[in-house]
Structures are given as structure tokens and as C-alpha cells.
Structure 1
Amino acid sequence: MNKDRFINIILVFGVILGATLASISLVKETNFRSEEDWVAKVEEIEISRAKFSLQIQALAADKRTPITQEDKAYVLERMIEEELLIQRARDLGMLSTNTMVRGTVVQQMINLIILDNNMKTVKESALKKFYEENKGFFTNADRLRVRQLYFTHSDVNKALEKANHAFDALLANENFSEVAKSASDSALKLPDTLMTLTKVRE
């Protein structure tokens, strides 16, 4: 197994390794609430408050709700795990030959934090309801169901005005049947079925 592949394995199992190392008390002390320049020490390495703040800002940018104390504690825990990984990689002599390891670990931890805080479980019933209400989004691109609205008036500008008004109403999610009440009758009747692009052009 070459060294790069070994590095990748360590990154994949980073959280597990970090938790294991933490359990043997490599984290000497934490400083979560004071005004010092660091928020935690792992061995003799300080995790700076500035770096901690940057990761909190990154998390806040991806959250729809305000950052809580639990969020901050979670971020700090992940940063400690990251530092444990870095120290382990240093012990194995890998950091001297691969300067990208730290950046890769940092990015993976940020992604993990973001995913954990934004992941939502959608019920199957909600998915089925969405599908039934939006079947058009799930049809193949080469088959379309087309509906028409036809507007006519002795004054072309007024016909165009009515058409634009109907267009805006549809964009605003108004019911098609209601919008269609303002349209004129058309001699051209389109079939209410899926049609190929060629058929639509005809």
C-alpha cells in the first residue's frame, strides 16, 4: 500500500480515529468561554480562537437559523478531532511529504459540519405527494404536455397586455384553469397528452 493511499484511508476514517485518540486524553484543556487567543489545546498545539471563529462563520453562512452554543461546541469538537488527525499523520511522517493533508482534513470537517446541520429527513408520503402534484418535472425531456392560452382582440396591444398578465399570473403559481378563464376561444385544440418535440413543432 503506497503512502498516498494510506493517507486517504486515514482521512476517510478521520472521525473514528479522532474519537479514539481523544479517549486517551490528548486534549489537555479547553478554553471555550474566556477571552484568550485559543479555544483548546491538543498536546502542545493551540486551536486558535480566530480559526474557530472562521469555521463558525462558515457554518452560519449555511444555516437558516442562528448559531447556538451546541453548534459552537460541535464545531470545537470537530476541530479537536482534526488536530488529532494532523498529529497522528505527523507521527507517521506523512505531513513532511504531503502538505495538502491539513487542507483536505479541514475541508472534510467543514463539509461534515454543514451536512450534519442541514440534513433533513423527508417522509415518503410527502415525496409521493410532491411527485403527484409535480409530475411534469419528472417526465422525459423529449416528451411534453402542452397547454395553450389564446388571446385575441381588435387592438393588438390589448391582446398582448392580456397575454402578459396571464403569463405573470402563471409565474406567480396561480391555477391554470383560473387563468384560462380570461383567455379567448381558439379553433386550435391541443391534445391533453404527452407529445414528442417533433409533434409539438407541427
Structure 2
Amino acid sequence: MNRERLGTVLLSVGACLGLLLATTGIVKSDPEVPEDAVAVVNGHAIPKSEYRRALDALRAERPNASEAELRAHVLDRLIDEQLLIDSALELGLADRDPKVRADLGSAAIGVIVDGAEVEPSDAELRAFFQANRDYFRGAPRVHVRRAGLPDTPLSPDKLEQYLGARVTREVLALEPGATLETPQGRVELVEKIPGREPRFDEKLVRAEYSRRAGEQRLRAFFAERRARARIVTP
């Protein structure tokens, strides 16, 4: 039986069990269920926050359904998902299936990068901006003349598309008015236009601050895990 067929069977069985438990009253509140959870499946708590998100989404999809029906359906679905996860781990899919491994890795990175993020204050953002003014400065442009080139200022990246990396580096080292002989013809550097003076854009600065903070958390995670892990290489 392939994995897709197995997943369908497991989900169907889980749905039937959920319906049976709900109708017979076996699923009920239990003192072992944490206050912030709606159920515990094989020792894994299903958070109320996850339950509420799924319930809100289903309410939007099924506006005419009864509240009791929606709640039962969401709880059953979350229980089924946990049963499928348990089954996947028992089958060793995390070790044997490259796609599962990649998806788990991507999900873990997302949790690590986004986890425990502290919202920076306005003062912290402005200090970060001042320390990284060159990063937020607009890209410089150069105006060069050569047959086949647009007679307008271009960014270094755009110029490289026309001239190639080596010739672009040599052109950028020229002073305005100087020329350079290339296999494609003579290139004259007309003008160097510096990048615009950066201004504080809270949305842009906050995004870069968060990106770098996430990268730092990821580096710290790998450093800590490598220190604890037993890694053997040839």
C-alpha cells in the first residue's frame, strides 16, 4: 500500500473513530488535559489556540452549520491529524522520505526564526537604522557611454548584464571622463551618481531587524545543537 493510500485509510479510520467516540460520549473532559489544550492524543496536547484558529476558519467556510457540529468536526480533524503524525513517525517517514524531511526542516526553521520574537522599541529600531545606514542607502548608479548601451544612468547590477562582471568592475574604478577599451568597444564613464541618503522607514527597518534577529536565532540554535549532538563523519 503506497503512502497516499495509507494516509487516506488512516484519515478515514480516524474520522470514523472520532464520530464513534463523539456519539458514544467517550471523548469528554479529563483532569489530565491541560487547561490550554482541548485534547491529548498519545501524550501530545492539542492547544486551544490551534483549535480556535481551525474553528474560526471552518465557521467562515460553513456559515450555516450548527456550532456543535463545527466544534465536533474541528476536534475530530485535529485528533486525526495527530494520529496521522504519530503513524508517520512510527513508519519512519521522517527518516526515509526526502519530501517529509524537507518539509519538517522548513517548518522547524520557521518556528526557530519566528519563535520568542521580542518586538523592538522605536529607539532600538532607530539605533539599528543608524548603525546600518549604508545598507538602507539607495543603490548608486553610473552613466556610461558605449554603442549598444542605454544613454542613461544604470545600477551596477544592470550594467553588469551588458558588460560582464570584470569589465563592470574596471569601469566602476574609473574617474568621470575616463575611458576603457573593451572587446565590445570603448566605454566612457560619464558620471557616478551616489545612492540617495537613506531615510527612516519603520516598516522597512523593522523587517530587516526581524530578518537579522531570526538569522541570529538560527545560528545560535545550530551552534547549541551541534555542541550537544554526537556527529560522526568519515
Regarding TM over 0.5, the answer is no
When the two structures are superposed, what TM-score results if normalisation uses the length of structure 1?
A: 0.38
